[in-house]
A and B are shown apart, each in its own frame.
Chain A
Amino acid sequence: MNLTLKVWRQKSANSPGRFQDHTARNVMPDMSFLEMLDVVNEELAERGEEPIAFDSDCREGICGACSLVINGIPHGGNAGTATCQLHMRHFHDGQTITIEPWRARAFPPVKDLVVDRSAFDRIIQSGGFVSVNTGGTPDANALPIPKVDQELAMDAAACIGCGACVAACKNASAMLFVAAKVQHLALLPQGKVEANRRVLSMVEAMDAEGFGACSVTGSCEAVCPKQISLDFISRMNRDYLKA
């Protein structure tokens, strides 16, 4: 199939951006969205034009590098998948696809579809860790943890830090990401020790980066490739108020 791509092109952080039309020819339904862009980029490179810059790494939904707002929806709107796991069979011949970067003040543009997500790293640096000396690996089951807490902590730990939650939110709020990163530690005994300090400083760091606040619209949960639940935001709110 052949597709028209309306792609956001922006030379650098400080130059103005605009949409530019590109054509994707002979796209196979089994290609992933990123492979389709690779093919377009090869053609552009052959013609001596500047390829479209976009982020990707693992290409199997585990690293959180890929981004892209596709037809207005971060990661393209298929439940529980990242852009790298989106296949072209979800599109039809002749379709026009709009491709934009994550848009948020806290994610400044780098080039084309690439934005700088280091705000997330700084939030993690402010407290998203456990300060213990790593000795030898403890024996399995040496530290009993209730099954429910294990499961919840694992659900929260599934966050790959992609930032789709911010991109989808009308307020560009990072609450889902921060909640996941606060809760996957707070639910476990190793993380509980620093739970109060952690939630206070991570929320403070989040506000300082210029993300918006939560209006509980649920867009974040709808686009999250790891389907992190809004409940984690509620748990974080409770922990914050208690701390």
Chain B
Amino acid sequence: MNVIQKLFRSSLGKKTIMAITGILLFGFVIVHMLGNLQIFLGADVINTYAAFLKSKPALLWVARIGLLVLVGLHIGSAVQLSRQNRAARPIPYGDAKHPGASYASRTMLMSGLIVLAFIIYHLLHFTVAVPGVNLLGASAQLPNGDFLQLKDATGHQDVFRMLVLGFSNVWVSGFYIVGMALLCMHLSHGISSLFQSLGIRQHFCGQCLDRLAMLLAAIIFIGNSSIPIAILLGYGR
């Protein structure tokens, strides 16, 4: 059997795809979070950082397409596996219990799909910056309600003000925090589970992996949610 067949046909292969794409996406989430946290270093720092990223369009597009492929493979395998799993038990139990299984581990598809909805909104909100979705409308601070027209003194796009204005809306901030909570739940199982999918769990203690996953997931949640929360509490306004 060749490698491609093994990866795309068998249940084990699909789990390998989930694990590899999952760990790479997790790596992206960490780097992205560190980038975002520069907001706490002031407007200059984060605006310069954003301008730096924008100044490398080739790199930016390679990363974007790479991420799209990762998400596509991850979701593709997730949907196929979930269908196989559902079909494997046609008659449900009258009294269904789940000994030993955490809530997060049983709801990976659901948490994943909500994270997907969040990602789509997030892209429309800050990346494509569709004016309609920021729920702010036009104002003196925000002409036409369009984030892309915000410029700082040096002519760079004013990402700092975009974030401050964007998160000043309670509903938007709330949805970001919910999205992060679901991502946190997804990762609290996923980061531990991927060790098994990759066949290296036996070298670690199982409980330590579960704890590590929860710790990393919590860091993602706290790190990212701190931004909307700080802004709602008045940071930058």
Which residues of A does B touch, CB under 8 Å? 6, 8, 17, 19, 69, 71-73, 77, 98, 100, 103-106, 168, 170-173, 200, 203-204, 206-207, 210-219, 221-223, 230-231, 233-241
The answer to whether B202 and A170 have CB atoms under 8 Å apart is: no
Pick 30 A–B contacts, CB within 8 A, sort by A.
A8-B94, A71-B97, A72-B93, A73-B97, A77-B99, A103-B92, A104-B89, A168-B99, A170-B106, A172-B89, A173-B88, A203-B10, A207-B10, A213-B14, A213-B81, A213-B84, A214-B15, A216-B189, A216-B197, A217-B101, A217-B102, A217-B105, A217-B106, A234-B196, A234-B202, A237-B197, A237-B198, A237-B199, A238-B199, A241-B12
Could you count the A-B residue pairs with CB atoms below 8 Å apart for me: how many are there? 148
- Provide the residues of chain B in CB contact with A204, threshold 8 Å: 10
Q: Across the A-B interface, give the 3 residue pairs with the lowest CB-CB distance, nearest first.
A: A238-B199, A222-B100, A72-B97
Q: How far is the CB of B6 from chain A (nearest CB, A)?
A: 8
User: What is the size, in residues, of chain B's interface with A at 8 Å between Cβ atoms?
Assistant: 43
The answer to whether A170 and B85 have CB atoms under 8 Å apart is: yes
Q: How far is the CA of A236 from the CA of B189 in the complex (A)?
A: 20
Q: How far is the CA of A173 from the CA of B81 in the complex (A)?
A: 11
- Provide the residues of chain A in CB contact with B199, threshold 8 Å: 234-241
- Provide the residues of chain A in CB contact with B200, threshold 8 Å: 234, 238
Q: How far is the CA of A168 from the CA of B98 in the complex (A)?
A: 7
Q: How far is the CA of A218 from the CA of B196 in the complex (A)?
A: 11
- Secondary structure at the A interface, as helix, strand, loop or mixed, is mixed
Q: Is B41 an interface residue (CB 8 A)?
A: no
- Provide the residues of chain B in CB contact with A69, threshold 8 Å: 93, 95
- Provide the residues of chain B in CB contact with A231, threshold 8 Å: 201-202, 206
Binary per-residue interface labels of chain B (6-47) against chain A in the complex, 1 for a CB within 8 Å, 0 otherwise: 100011101110000000000000000000000000000000
Residue in chain A with minimal CB distance to B189: A216
Q: How far is the CA of A239 from the CA of B95 in the complex (A)?
A: 36
Residue in chain A with minimal CB distance to B81: A213
The answer to whether B94 and A19 have CB atoms under 8 Å apart is: yes
Binary per-residue interface labels of chain B (191-226) against chain A in the complex, 1 for a CB within 8 Å, 0 otherwise: 011011111111000100000000000000000000
Q: How far is the CA of A21 from the CA of B14 in the complex (A)?
A: 43
Known contacts A214-B15, A216-B192, A230 near B101 by CB under 8 Å: no
Q: How far is the CA of A96 from the CA of B87 in the complex (A)?
A: 30
The answer to whether A171 and B88 have CB atoms under 8 Å apart is: yes
Q: How far is the CA of A237 from the CA of B7 in the complex (A)?
A: 12
- Provide the residues of chain A in CB contact with B93, threshold 8 Å: 69, 72, 100, 103
Q: Is B59 an interface residue (CB 8 A)?
A: no
Q: How far is the CB of A111 from chain B (nearest CB, A)?
A: 15
Residue in chain A with minimal CB distance to B91: A103
The answer to whether B15 and A213 have CB atoms under 8 Å apart is: yes
Q: How far is the CA of A236 from the CA of B197 in the complex (A)?
A: 10
Q: Is B96 an interface residue (CB 8 A)?
A: yes
Residue in chain A with minimal CB distance to B7: A241
Q: How far is the CB of A107 from chain B (nearest CB, A)?
A: 10
Residue in chain A with minimal CB distance to B87: A105
The answer to whether B201 and A234 have CB atoms under 8 Å apart is: yes
Partner of B96, one of A72, A237, A238: A72
The answer to whether A230 and B12 have CB atoms under 8 Å apart is: no
Residue in chain B with minimal CB distance to A221: B100
Q: Is B1 an interface residue (CB 8 A)?
A: yes
Q: How far is the CB of A221 from chain B (nearest CB, A)?
A: 6
Residue in chain A with minimal CB distance to B12: A240
Q: Is B90 an interface residue (CB 8 A)?
A: yes
